Structure 1
């Protein structure tokens, strides 16, 4: 009987964060009693966990007091904190740049050096807007109480008026300017109108957070937690002991480890299976696979079991036959993908780390371009939609071997691998070109190597 109950419970299990849908017959809401800030008597707060399209997971809260009639509503972010922070630098040159969509979280600081504008993180709520919308919001904020300020503090009001004129001139593009977003949570984004081609006007860098920044986000390491045995956090210090065991103990080969985690799609509790294995002619890797029983999402990820290599590695694979599509590929999370014939580029963090085939990589790139998160598809320009559809059609031609292309994998950490179709060192795979190169300063900076000191220790 218990097995039937468990099966029924599994079938009725629903995602914690569901899509925003007015036709949902059974929205999962939670009611809790809370104090009214108006009359200090007991009222009710209703919570709804949902997802906003093209944005993130949110918690919608609605409070109502039956005693005095006071009502209040609020939205709080519930999006997952990324492993690294992100810094996005956009050169605004054309009116098209002003219309770029921007997603910014609560932890995003905004600056425009040309006019000395700085908006600190956590001073504004996260939003989906445009570059012009960010400027308009700054102008509205500065314009508040200007009439009263002109009477009480005329000098300050005059200086603010002059600054507002500077901001207004940015919208007219009288000068080119730079918009800089720095988000320690890693959840900010600026639209690429040239997708899937690279964006020459926008530069995105990921960075390792400092200890103070981790603590702002509520992430604490083992050293920051006084009682290690009460390790209940879902942050870094929960995963650290598991990761150390997987990398550091050699007798884990063949053993599958399991640990609780949260689904990246709906936030429900699920299990991740992790296994340490060795790829022939390469190195040890950690393979992780997660299946969510609530929403059915399946994810897999591969991480290198070794450190960063002395040099970066670049693979160029000609895709012309079925044998080329079946090559084994290990793509690390620091590896970017390019198809020069399509002018298509996928950044290192877009697909994460995975162990698959050339065909699997191409299918993943195609799915990434088709996904809702790639572009603001409902409001995208028709030219962008047509260009994107053309590229997706070409992916179908590649997979059907009707179009010959070159797939380029560039990994500055040297932790990626492409299988050779010939045996022995004397034979040369003519369709596979491997180049080892010295990393640039910017690549070392992104990998966090410039600040590492290994001498005289």
Structure 2
């Protein structure tokens, strides 16, 4: 049997055993599935091709194309191969130069595409999912607006004139005659804008991960799914939706779930733990017996703190790498000497050490986000970056700074000198901005006079 994380579960009873859940690898040639299907234009049979692949720096997608040999009709679209993400994502991209319109984008059918300067928006579920560029999406929009102009010039000349003027404006955007802003907002979290500067921050691109509103959950069809999940009963026969059930300090709860690697049924275990000089946290772990996949995650046991907190640790010795770290989902991680910026939502909540946190970032860059899949210059820059990060993790490169900035105030770096001041670390409490409160969902939260 071939080794591999997803090859432990096989289809039996066949001479050619294949994994039930195939792994998706961007470096290997993906298999294409062909299905005979009806052409909606001429009524003859055409061919639909499906290919499951992985986009570097993103996730799994399903590419679909249709072609008809009788009338030469063709169509292509993209669907996310990954499940709905925990949070929505909003990309704000400033187009300043002609080469910026060649920036690659993945727009799922649940995403909206807008240009605020033109008060123009392509609403959710009005276009099929597509992998394209900024120019490609604008060209697709122009084609859609122009397709009925011949009839419209006869039936409604005034409206046709206005649309012609707007099409001319969109063509000016394609030529980048003046800077404009593109906003790609996907509540499902399955859209993507390429960052050619990765793993460094892109000054023209802003990425925001946000909590979906109840209306967005309903639009995605997951409100009822969440209700059913909350009503599941655990192994002890206690409903997880009972508000009077608290997790005891020595109690381990199990919740049925699915393995994120092979989708096999597994159990996620949770335990409440107390961090000295901080607060209570909930530690969650998953171990899949089918494929061997393991994950661990930490959630803070309390609510959002009154103020945000920013830790700046000066790493000067191996002892600093061994400090305990709690990184919540809302925290940003920065290493100024490497120009490394990990935005909130980049990693799940973790309770580890400084060494473990930096190594998790390194592993994620190597495995989940293969930046080295580009041209030779990009590969060399990525290799140099990984080499410097590896030197820090191994303790061969010291005298660097680790910054942990959490607007929710739920992150923590151990102070071995507590309760005295740590000479190598500064801790700053700050008042959150309106934008930070908005990302945490606090601006819409009303706790007084809400009846």
Instruction: Write the distance in 2 (CA, Å) between the matches of 1:289 and 1:48.
Output: 35
Identify which of 180, 184, 187 aligns with 2:183: 180
Q: Residue deviations 1:243-268, cap 9 Å, x none?
A: 667995153x2222222212223433
SS of residue matched to 1:394: helix
Q: How does 1:39-188 map to 2 (within 5 A)?
A: 50-54=52-56, 56-57=59-60, 76-147=79-150, 149-150=152-153, 154-188=157-191
Q: CA deviation at 1:288?
A: 1.1
Instruction: Write the distance in 2 (CA, Å) between the matches of 1:88 and 1:285.
Output: 31
Q: CA deviation at 1:77?
A: 4.0
Q: CA deviation at 1:296?
A: 3.4
Q: CA deviation at 1:338?
A: 0.3
SS of residue matched to 1:19: coil
Identify which of 419, 428, 441 aligns with 2:434: 441
Q: How does 1:15-414 map to 2 (within 5 A)?
A: 16-19=21-24, 50-54=52-56, 56-57=59-60, 76-147=79-150, 149-150=152-153, 154-220=157-223, 231=228, 249-251=246-248, 253-373=249-369, 375=371, 377-378=372-373, 380-403=374-397, 404-414=399-409
Identify which of 432, 443, 450 aligns with 2:425: 432
Which residue number corresponds to residue 15 of structure 2? none
SS of residue matched to 2:128: coil
Instruction: Write the distance in 2 (CA, Å) between the matches of 1:77 and 1:453.
Output: 35
Name the TM-score, length of structure 2 as normaliser: 0.80
Instruction: Write the distance in 2 (CA, Å) between the matches of 1:122 and 1:98.
Output: 23
Q: Residue deviations 1:67-92, cap 9 Å, x none?
A: xxxxx999754431122222221111
Instruction: Write the distance in 1 (CA, Å) between the matches of 2:324 and 2:242.
Output: 27
Instruction: Write the distance in 2 (CA, Å) between the matches of 1:73 and 1:203.
Output: 29
Structure 2 unaligned blocks of 5 or more? 1-6, 12-18, 67-74
Q: Residue deviations 1:7-61, cap 9 Å, x none?
A: xx96537453532699899x899x9xxx9999xxxx9x99989444346445689
Instruction: Write the distance in 1 (CA, Å) between the matches of 2:277 and 2:244.
Output: 19
Instruction: Write the distance in 1 (CA, Å) between the matches of 2:109 and 2:152.
Output: 29
Which residue number corresponds to residue 4 of structure 2? none
SS of residue matched to 1:435: strand
Instruction: Write the distance in 1 (CA, Å) between the matches of 2:325 and 2:23.
Output: 34
Structure 1 unaligned blocks of 5 or more? 1-8, 64-71, 226-230
Q: Residue deviations 1:206-246, cap 9 Å, x none?
A: 33322222112111259x96xxxxx3x5xx66599976679
Task: Say if 2:270 and 2:284, in contact at 8 Å, map to a contact too.
Answer: yes
SS of residue matched to 1:159: helix
Q: CA deviation at 1:187?
A: 1.5
Which deviates the most, 129-138 or 157-166? 157-166
Q: Residue deviations 1:325-345, cap 9 Å, x none?
A: 111111111111000111110
Name the TM-score, length of structure 1 as normaliser: 0.79
Instruction: Write the distance in 2 (CA, Å) between the matches of 1:429 and 1:138.
Output: 57
RMSD over aligned CA atoms reads 3.8
Which deviates the most, 406-415 or 310-319? 310-319
Task: Say if 2:232 and 2:240, in contact at 8 Å, map to a contact too.
Answer: no
Across the two proteins, how many residue pairs are aligned to each other? 420
Which deviates the most, 13-22 or 392-401? 13-22
Identify which of 10, 18, 24 aligns with 1:12: 10
Change (3 A) 1:58 1:435: closer
Task: Say if 2:188 and 2:220, in contact at 8 Å, map to a contact too.
Answer: yes
